[in-house]
Structure 1
């Protein structure tokens, strides 16, 4: 990941210029308010990743030959969908949320 001095790096919550990085996931953030919001998302993702069933799904997807077919099967699993949704909320937060 680029350093915090890079002009393309933005806060994962408000998209402003970041000053800090999350100690757990290293994502950039700019303020205590943004960190508190991100911390909840980060904790949710960490909790999901501790689930053995989700980890098995991810390993089988990674090691499989037909990734498109496996992804379609994984998206039928509620736990995997929850994981995908959590990831999407982190990398592309909904625009209608109040910051």
Structure 2
């Protein structure tokens, strides 16, 4: 990914308003002070929850229905796991990784991440307990 301001290679940070990448505090300040920072609303997720017949733009055989994903919010087991700062930091690293496949391959070797993934699967695929 390229920094929205200086165009250097980065995947460190994403603007919380427009989700564009930036590489430093200086670039972030410059970006947010410019007129280029437009809020991107992710209304598609909310619309899909209210109307599950909406088709997602990219789906695979592994795509989980949005109604099931909403159940993750109510999981006490997940909430407890996410109290762990190590897990939260690890999830951020995976999210920011330039190669999702490589990051997931490494993550699936981490016992805490496996515990998190299993807790997610218990919610979205309860018949496979």
Whose radius of gyration is greater, 1 or 2? 2
Residues 1:94 and 2:88 are matched in the alignment: no
Residues 1:59 and 2:92 are matched in the alignment: yes
Residue of structure 2 equivalent to 1:2: 50
Q: TM-score, normalised by structure 2?
A: 0.44
Q: Secondary structure at the match of 1:25?
A: helix
> What CA distance in whole angstroms lies between the structure 2 residues aligned with 1:49 and 1:64?
20
Q: Which runs of 5+ in 2 are unaligned?
A: 1-48, 54-66
> What CA distance in whole angstroms lies between the structure 2 residues aligned with 1:74 and 1:93?
23
> What CA distance in whole angstroms lies between the structure 1 residues aligned with 2:86 and 2:107?
11
2:116 aligned to which of 75, 83, 89: 83
- The aligned runs of 1:1-20 (5 Å cut-off) are 1-2=49-50
Divergent runs of 4+, >2 A: none
Residues 1:43 and 2:91 are matched in the alignment: no
Report how many aligned residue pairs link the two structures.
68
Residues 1:70 and 2:94 are matched in the alignment: no
Q: TM-score, normalised by structure 1?
A: 0.56
Residue of structure 2 equivalent to 1:25: 73
Deviations 1:24-67 (A, max 9, x none): 936xxxxxxxxxxxxxxx11110011111111111011111011
The CA RMSD over aligned residues, in Å, is 3.0
